[in-house]
Amino acid sequence: MAVEVLMPALSPTMEEGTLAKWLVKPGDVVKSGQILCEIETDKATMEFEAVDEGIIGRLLVAEGTAGVKVNTPIAVIVEEGESTDSARAPAKSAAPAAAAVAQVAVVVAQKAPVAMATGARVFASPLARRIAAEKGLDLTKVQGSGPHGRIVRADVEAAKPVAAVQTTSAAAASAPVKAGMPSGMSAETVMKIYADRDYVEVPLDGMRRVIAARLTEAKQTIPHFYLRRSVRLDALLGFREQMNKGLQPRGIKLSVNDFIIKACAFALQAVPDCNAVWAGDRILKLKPSDVAVAVAIEGGLFTPVLRDADKKSLSALSAEMKDLAGRAKTKKLAPHEYQGGSFAISNLGMMGVENFDAVINPPHGSILAVGAGIKQPVVLADGTLGVANVMSMTLSVDHRVIDGALGAQFLKVVVECLENPIVMLA
């Protein structure tokens, strides 16, 4: 029986995508796990895998087609021995079976082995296998709720008692937003204002629509307040230079941003009430320091998350950040690599910006805006005037999650770590 393959939702916020490239053609025999096509979302280019065996009867969406809505039929697969002619007019009743034909594949550089009993054949989505591997689950003991008993993400997340909290957190961290234009003047009204001027109209792509919607949501719904501190960087710069000399044989070069990440991870542990997110009708306090860092890319930005940053060395954080930033710029990050965290860092100091206020990325409780280090006259400890490298920082805080005194305590720890960086290595 011919069944339709539907455009998948590759992330919780995805409403539409671009079918970038077909990797199969009509008449091809496909097997479970074989990649069918590449799909571009607002954040990444991802691969879409077949689940069951069959024959490609018809491709319904051409390569390069943008704006394909989620759950739109994109191809038809027929059973072996079934004429591909039957795929010309697939029955609508076949649509619900599409989930049994293809599943989302979040492809990462290396696939970790899944813990399971030897010889047991387990039907599970690639994402479910990855999560199971990370959690050390035996998939043979997990009951699948997907088509034909297939194990899906929800099944492996529910395999432990803490899954309910994790699922709530994940849902809150990436709740779908309406990716349309924020309210305000209509396009027609604005275009009339500039009707007598030359301009180029730039259509919004998926990423820019999501950014516009989420930031509008953030400023309209989150009660922001701001705390500002200055940091003297001279001790850190000297310490960094000394460390980089020692790390040079290993090809490692630490940046000031690496120290800022470590300092923030340290502060989240020192002031645990700031390690929190807003979850609608409750606050979730996280135990690990999962720090998101804004990375600018063409047309938008990513916020890859450095998980368990408090437990990692500066060199490990530096290497991981370089990897995440590099893959962010080519849109090769998987959703789990840029969703989550309780706190974010936005550093525009490297671009010469002296200070700014960042918008909180919901459901995070706060975000730190980092400016440039600039030589300034300062009063030294002995009361004389001197010159120091001074960096401005502004902490944007969600007042529903963190109160002023608590935010000030967190920022104080960050400053102490940066002005006396050796404490982060203790």
Render pLDDT for 227-268 as a digit per residue (tens, 0 to 9): 999 999 999 999 999 999 999 999 999 999 999 999 999 999
pLDDT at res. 180: 47
pLDDT at res. 160: 57
pTM over 0.75: no
pLDDT at res. 6: 87
pLDDT at res. 299: 81
Q: What residues of the chain score a pLDDT lower than 50?
A: 87-114, 116-120, 161-182
Catalytic residue ranges: 399
Phi then psi for 11, rounded to 5 degrees? -155, 160
CATH topology of domain 224-425: Chloramphenicol Acetyltransferase (3.30.559)
pLDDT tens per residue, range 64-88: 898 899 889 999 888 876 765 554 4
Question: Helix (H, G, I), strand (E, B), or coil: what is residue 302?
Answer: strand
Contact 197, 371 (CB under 8 A): no
Portions of the chain given CATH number 2.40.50.100: 3-172
Instruction: Lay out the sheet containing 29-30: strands in order across.
Output: 3-6, 73-78, 54-59, 29-30
**Which residue reads 């918008």 in tokens?**
359
Residue 302 identity (one-letter amino acid)? F
pLDDT at res. 44: 77
Portions of the chain given CATH number 3.30.559.10: 224-425
pLDDT at res. 146: 66
Burial of 180 (0-12, 13-18, 19+ CB in 10 A): exposed
pLDDT at res. 83: 64
pLDDT at res. 377: 93
Cis peptide before 90 (omega within 30 of 0): no
Give the whole-angstrom CA distance, residue 65 versus residue 68. 7
Contact 370, 347 (CB under 8 A): yes
CATH architecture type of domain 3-172: Beta Barrel (2.40)
